[in-house]
Amino acid sequence: MQGETIVLYPAPGIGHIISMVELAKLIHKHHFSTTILLTTGFSDHPSIDAYIRRISAAYPTISFLRLPHVAAPTAAASFLGKCFTFVKSNVTNVATTLTQISESATIKAFVIDLFCTSAMEPASSLQIPVYYFFTSGAAVLALCCYLPTLHRQTTLSFKDMVGAELQVPGNAALKAVNMPEPMLDRNDIAYCDMLDFCTHLPEARGIIVNSFPQLEPAAVKAVAEGACFPNAERAPSVHYIGPLIAEPQQSDVATENKQCLSWLDEQPSKSVVFLCFGSRGSFSVSQMKEIANGLERSGLRFLWVVKRPTQDERIKHVVDITSEFDLASVLPSGFIERTKYRGLVVKLWAPQVEVLSHDSVGGFVSHCGWNSVLEGVIAGVPMIAWPLYAEQHVNRHVMVEQMKVAIAVEQNEEDGFVSGEEVEKRVRELMESQEIRETSLKLKHLALAAVGEFGSSTKALANLVQAWSGFSA
């Protein structure tokens, strides 16, 4: 008898691959073999190969298949624009590979990243059911599903609609200028691709989402009732299987990692504010100095992860996340010395999942990346929501208004700048608010229950796998 497999196809880059591998690990628990297709030629890094070797050794039912090399696009375009073009140029390879796999095994489902929408067509023509793995939450899913409608409502780019607010089902009103980056400029090639991806979303057999209904009730309801798909023939089935948290990775900065965890061991329970802005989030030197001043004046204990500064006040992320820089040159003079008994500044990277689950951590200042949000929720740590880029403004609304586990920081309309006084005020408020702390703990228990033995997310995945077991092409 032919074997059976689930094929998974992440977008290039370690973040996308890790998310898909975490899903494969869950599927592995149901004794299904999985094959993960990996592109070659864009966003490759030796650390990805090392990671894949580790996973292959630990999970024999997860196999990886490298697609043939495809040259990275050279045309002038944003990083995402290039990434989308690159993924599209892999479509023939994907078709060939799916055909080859089908010769020796039945592909029960093909699970793709949103950015890999171009692979939907060859899979469908082979009668393989296509599912999306949506690594953000339901609020962002609602926004994506509704993008084609928003697009039809205007001829302007959202970046030019200063002062306008967008109404998206299941979401709080969103400033048009705070739309996620690839949705901002309709003249950008990446915008056209994003619109295409979002148009195809309802055509999938199902959408697997890294969230659970009690986390984002309004968005989950809007998606379930079809409010976001006004023109789709049918709303796709949506499977909430989260929170799915990536296992901590061994990294090159192991020594610093140990240092900050042992520093936390010496701090009193729930006393430390942890500031970390994702894998790429960063600020100008003047913004870093304001943060430092605010932390110093608050008198609170803190652990702050600092990346190489940006050159432009409006740019809130760095591309090169590993290159060295001089910490003293981005902080106020004497800051490290003056705060050394109650603060620690870590360069580049800290083991966030371990830090958040440490008893000494009492608050988390976050850039609202969805993985960070889920990690904060599962640790039961109250948060300050400080969105920087991508879909983080959408997440901020959910954290503050729906989950009620975060306080919003007030940002300058124009460039997102936050004053030192505001930092001081909000970190104090965060550490003193009993109400948010209690809500965070309640949500932590709901999250743990959702992924527990009888939880909604565990059941949702079990039902999905059962449906796959029954499918025959």
Residue ranges in 261-280 that form contacts with ligand UDP under rule CB under 6 A: 276, 278-280
Q: How far is the CB of 350 from ligand UDP (least distance, A)?
A: 5
How many residues bind ligand UDP (CB under 6 A)? The answer is 17
User: What count of residues does the chain have?
Assistant: 473
Among 161, 192, 353, 467, binds ligand UDP (CB under 6 A): 353
Residue ranges in 6-25 that form contacts with ligand UDP under rule CB under 6 A: 15
Q: How far is the CB of 258 from ligand UDP (least distance, A)?
A: 14
Residue ranges in 224-263 that form contacts with ligand UDP under rule CB under 6 A: 246
Q: Are 128 and 98 in contact (CB under 8 A)?
A: yes
Which residue, chain included where needed, has tokens 């709303």? 235
Amino acid at 142: A
Q: How far is the CB of 123 from ligand UDP (least distance, A)?
A: 26
Bridge pairing between strands 165-166 and 174-175: antiparallel
- 370/468 with CB nearer ligand UDP: 370
- 296/375 with CB nearer ligand UDP: 375
From residue 298, give the alpha-carbon distance in Å to each of 128, 285, 426.
57, 20, 9
- Asked if 143 touches ligand UDP (CB under 6 A), the answer is no
- Asked if 371 touches ligand UDP (CB under 6 A), the answer is yes
Region near ligand UDP per CB under 6 A, out of 64-72, 73-81, 185-193, 367-375: 367-375
- Asked if 370 touches ligand UDP (CB under 6 A), the answer is yes
Q: Dihedral of CA 391/397/400/405: which sign?
A: negative
Strand arrangement of the beta sheet that strand 301-306 belongs to: 343-347, 301-306, 272-276, 361-366, 383-385, 406-408
Distance CA 373, CA 347 (A): 21
Distance CA 106, CA 95 (A): 15
- Asked if 181 touches ligand UDP (CB under 6 A), the answer is no
- Asked if 48 touches ligand UDP (CB under 6 A), the answer is no
- Asked if 352 touches ligand UDP (CB under 6 A), the answer is yes
Q: Are 377 and 243 in contact (CB under 8 A)?
A: yes
Question: Which residue, judged by CB position, is nearest to ligand UDP in the bound state?
Answer: 369
- 93/372 with CB nearer ligand UDP: 372
Task: Fill in the DSSP letter of residue 317.
Answer: B
Q: Are 96 and 116 in contact (CB under 8 A)?
A: no
Q: How far is the CB of 180 from ligand UDP (least distance, A)?
A: 11
- 150/385 with CB nearer ligand UDP: 385
| Number of neighbours of residue 16 by Cβ within 10 angstroms | 20
Provide the Cα torsion 412, 414, 415, 420; round to 10°.
-20
- Asked if 376 touches ligand UDP (CB under 6 A), the answer is no
Give me the residues that bind ligand UDP (CB under 6 A), please. Answer: 15, 246, 276, 278-280, 305, 349-353, 369-372, 375
